[in-house]
Amino acid sequence: MSSVEYQDRVFKALAAPVRRRMLDMLKDEPHTTGTLCARLDGLDRCTVMQHLKVLEEADLVIVQRRGRERWNHLNPLPIKQIHDRWIGPYAARAVDMLDRMKSALERPSA
């Protein structure tokens, strides 16, 4: 899979609010699929599993099976890669622009 296709999968996975909510739940600790189902009111197990599949295909969730339980772990690396590629450079430019503006405003007027 090319890096463009990979990034498309990550962005697609992050596009759905329910999937972002699932990732937020996994941010601090892994959860079983059953726990996620219980915490996502209004979604049945089948729907939760479909969303987890999208997250897993985007490499945002790593699944570990322990007996009959399926533990879902957040994989933050794809999000870091998006940050490094898209957010970091834009943020750096914005900070640089603010620094130049601050310097210009602090210069004594002639």
Fold of the 3-106 domain: Arc Repressor Mutant, subunit A (1.10.10)
More confident residue, 98 or 73: 73
Per the confidence metrics, is the pTM higher than 0.85? no
Query: pLDDT digits over 78-93, tens only?
Result: 999 888 888 887 888 8
Domain ranges of the chain: 3-106
How far apart CA 20 and CA 7 sit, in angstroms, is 16
- pLDDT for position 93: 84
- pLDDT for position 4: 80
How far apart CA 6 and CA 26 sit, in angstroms, is 21
Checking if the pLDDT of 1 tops 80, the result is no
- pLDDT for position 5: 86
| Biggest alpha carbon–alpha carbon distance for the chain | 76
Query: pLDDT digits over 14-66, tens only?
Result: 999 999 999 999 999 999 999 999 999 999 999 999 999 999 999 999 999 99
- By the 8 A CB rule, do 48 and 40 touch? yes
